[in-house]
Amino acid sequence: MPSSISNLQCVFLDVDSLRPQELSLKNLEQQGTEWKFYSMTTADQIAERLKNAEIVVSNKVILGKNELSIARKLKLICVAATGTNNVDLEAAKERGIAVCNVRGYATASVTQHVFGLMISLASNLAAYREAVKKGEWSKSHQFCLLNYPIIELQGKKLGIVGNGVLGKAVSKLASDFGMELLIAESLRLDAPEDKQRVPLDVVFREADFLSLHCPLSEQTQGLINKKNLKKMKPTSFLINTSRGGLIVEEDLVWALETGQIQGAALDVLSVEPPHYNNPLLGLNLPNLLITPHIAWASQDSRQRLVDQIASVLTSYINGPVINRVC
C-alpha cells in the first residue's frame, strides 16, 4: 500500500463514458493529486497512458495481458462497472495487481428500466405510439384504439436468471406487481444446491417474461440460443439488461420473425457500440425494443458510481481494499 496519498499517479481512461459534466468528481479528485482524466482511450494510446500509472480506472477499455505487461508501476485497477470482463484477471493476479469493481450503485435505475421495458411490451406502447403518430387515433370512430393486445403483468410468471443484487431487486418489484417468480438455478459450477430455485429448463418452458441478470461467463455465453428459445412459450417475452453476449443474436432474430416468442426488449448487444450490420438493428418489428445500454445510467446511479470508486481508492490507501475481485 502507498504510504501517502500525495504521490499517487491516477488515470481514468474513459471518463466520458460517465458523462462527467453532469456529475461531481470532487470525492474522486481528492484521492490523488496527479489525476489524468481522458475522455476515451484507444488501443494505440494505452501504453503511454499506463506507463507511469499506479492506479487506473477503466469502464470499458480493455486491459488484457499485453496491456498489463506495459504497466510496470500499476498496483490497482478499478473497473467503473460491476462486470470485469474487460480485464484479464489472471494476468493481473500474476503481476500482483489488485482489481476492484463497483457494486449496487445502479440497482434502482436498472430495476426501473427492466419494468419500463416489460410494461412497454405488455402494453404494446411502441405500436400505440406509432399509431397515434400516423393519425390512426384521430381517424377512430371510438374514443380509444384497441388495435394491439394489452396484457397485465399481474398473475404472469417472471423467470429470473441471475439472482444477485439486481435479480433480487427485480424479483421484489415483480412481487409488488403480483407476478409469480421462477428463480433459475445458478449456472456457476461451484454454486451450492438451493432447492428453492428452479431448473433452468423449467424456467424456459414456463416463464411469461424471462429477465436476464447474470454475468457473462463461459457458462452463460450464448445461453439464449435456438435450442433454448424453442423451449419458450410463443406468448413469452425476453428482457436483457445484463450483457449482450448472453444471446445468440441471429437465433433471437429467428425467434422473433417466426413467432417462437412474442417479443423482446434489450438494453445490451454483443458488440457496443453495435455494428450497423447487427441483425437485430435491421428488424422493424413492434415487438422488439432496443435501448442503448442505459439501464444503469440515471444521473443518481452515475454519481454513486463515482463516489464508490473514491471509496475504493480510500480503502486502497488505508486498507483493507474493498470490492476486490482479485
Residue 91 belongs to some domain of the structure: yes
For residues 117 and 168, membership in a common domain is answered with: yes
Residue 10 belongs to some domain of the structure: yes
Hunting for cell 439488461 — which residue is that? 241
Q: Which of 9-13, 29-33, 270-274 has the lowest mean pLDDT?
A: 29-33
Given a cut of 80, whether residue 5 has pLDDT beyond it is no
For residues 128 and 272, membership in a common domain is answered with: yes
What is the rounded average pLDDT of the residues 49-55?
Answer: 93
Per-residue pLDDT reduced to its tens digit, 167-177: 999 999 999 99
Q: What is the mean pLDDT of the chain?
A: 94
pLDDT band at 273 (very low <50, low <70, confident <90, very high): very high
Instruction: Give me the CATH number covering residue 163.
Output: 3.40.50.720
What is the rounded average pLDDT of the residues 154-176?
Answer: 97
Identify each DSSP E strand in 184-306 by its residue range.
Answer: 209-212, 237-240, 263-266, 288-290
Question: Which of residues 5 and 120 earns the better pLDDT score?
Answer: 120
Nearest 10 degrees: Cα torsion 236, 114, 105, 215 = 20
Per-residue pLDDT reduced to its tens digit, 83-102: 898 999 999 999 999 999 99
For residues 192 and 236, membership in a common domain is answered with: yes
For residues 209 and 252, membership in a common domain is answered with: yes
Given a cut of 80, whether residue 7 has pLDDT beyond it is no
For residues 93 and 228, membership in a common domain is answered with: no
Element housing 121 (H / E): helix 107-122
What is the rounded average pLDDT of the residues 137-153?
Answer: 95
What is the pLDDT, as a whole number, of residue 30?
83
Given a cut of 90, whether residue 261 has pLDDT beyond it is yes
For residues 197 and 281, membership in a common domain is answered with: yes
Residue 326 belongs to some domain of the structure: no
Number of domains in the chain: 2
What is the pLDDT, as a whole number, of residue 6?
52
For residues 125 and 20, membership in a common domain is answered with: no
For residues 210 and 278, membership in a common domain is answered with: yes
**pTM above threshold 0.85:** yes
Given a cut of 80, whether residue 192 has pLDDT beyond it is no
Residue 324 belongs to some domain of the structure: no
pLDDT band at 191 (very low <50, low <70, confident <90, very high): confident
**Structural domain for 120, as ranges:** 107-290
For residues 161 and 241, membership in a common domain is answered with: yes
For residues 206 and 265, membership in a common domain is answered with: yes
What is the pLDDT, as a whole number, of residue 265?
98
What is the rounded average pLDDT of the residues 220-243?
Answer: 97
For residues 203 and 256, membership in a common domain is answered with: yes
Q: 253 and 191 in contact (C-beta within 8 Å)? A: no
Nearest to 252 by CA among 262, 242, 243: 262
For residues 51 and 116, membership in a common domain is answered with: no
pLDDT band at 33 (very low <50, low <70, confident <90, very high): low
- Residues carrying an active site annotation: 243, 272, 293
Q: 248 and 225 in contact (C-beta within 8 Å)? A: yes
What is the pLDDT, as a whole number, of residue 3?
41
Given a cut of 70, whether residue 8 has pLDDT beyond it is yes
Q: How far apart are CA 157 and CA 138, in angstroms?
A: 36
Residue 165 belongs to some domain of the structure: yes
